[in-house]
Structure 1
């Protein structure tokens, strides 16, 4: 089908992965080649990760920053994620 190997591995891992595996896979894939994953795959992975870890400031911040890279359609969602991330970080510091 012409799907790159990186994308195939990522989708296989994402399908039934726990949050740690999703995060690890995202970091690994984006570390090897930042644009290797299609935007839909990145969005899906970050969405699943945020749903499983709604109070993880680091993950919310990464998801927001990643969405900003592919806007402007998702900029509102990205800003919400970044604001929530900052709110969680501020609460943790108090």
Structure 2
């Protein structure tokens, strides 16, 4: 089986930056991944996003998985303005349907860390 969330995601959806590794459990269903993601800690989720989608708009992870990943990170790190800005950028990059949520995340981040919203200080 898989030893990390990243390996599990790579097995299911591939990796834009490298070959999909061989896997003995190819018949597994993506819902098992969602269960694993649901109970993963923020560090494991971030590691997966950083490795498989290092530039936010790249990678083969489905948008629904990315959105869920950021949502779960924010549940675990509710007062992390940098993470709010990154999640906001992800929402804006993947469709206008979530622009209101992205705006709210940026506003919350700016309220927590006004300095972080200045140009050259990160996403948003």
Query: Shorter-chain TM-score: which interval?
Result: 0.7 to 0.9
> C-alpha deviations, 1:52-91, integer Å up to 9, x for none?
1110011110000100012211000011111111211128
Give the gaps of 5 or more residues in structure 1: none
Aligned mates of 1:90, 1:82 — CA distance in 2: 10
* TM norm structure 1: 0.77
The answer for the alignment partner of 1:65 in structure 2 is 89
From the superposition, tell whether residues 22 and 42 of structure 1 become closer, same or farther in structure 2 (CA, over 3 Å).
Answer: same
TM-superposed CA distance for 1:39, in Å, is: 0.3
Q: Do residues 34 (structure 1) and 58 (structure 2) align? A: yes
Number of aligned positions between the proteins: 89
Residue 4 (structure 1) aligned to one of 7, 13, 20: 13
Aligned mates of 2:13, 2:109 — CA distance in 1: 32
Q: Do residues 82 (structure 1) and 106 (structure 2) align? A: yes
From the superposition, tell whether residues 86 and 16 of structure 1 become closer, same or farther in structure 2 (CA, over 3 Å).
Answer: same
From the superposition, tell whether residues 11 and 26 of structure 1 become closer, same or farther in structure 2 (CA, over 3 Å).
Answer: farther
Structure 1 stretches of at least 4 aligned residues deviating more than 6 Å after TM superposition: none
- Secondary structure of the corresponding residue to residue 54 of structure 2: helix
- Secondary structure of the corresponding residue to residue 74 of structure 1: helix
From the superposition, tell whether residues 59 and 25 of structure 1 become closer, same or farther in structure 2 (CA, over 3 Å).
Answer: same
Residue 17 (structure 1) aligned to one of 14, 35, 40: 40
Aligned mates of 1:63, 1:78 — CA distance in 2: 7
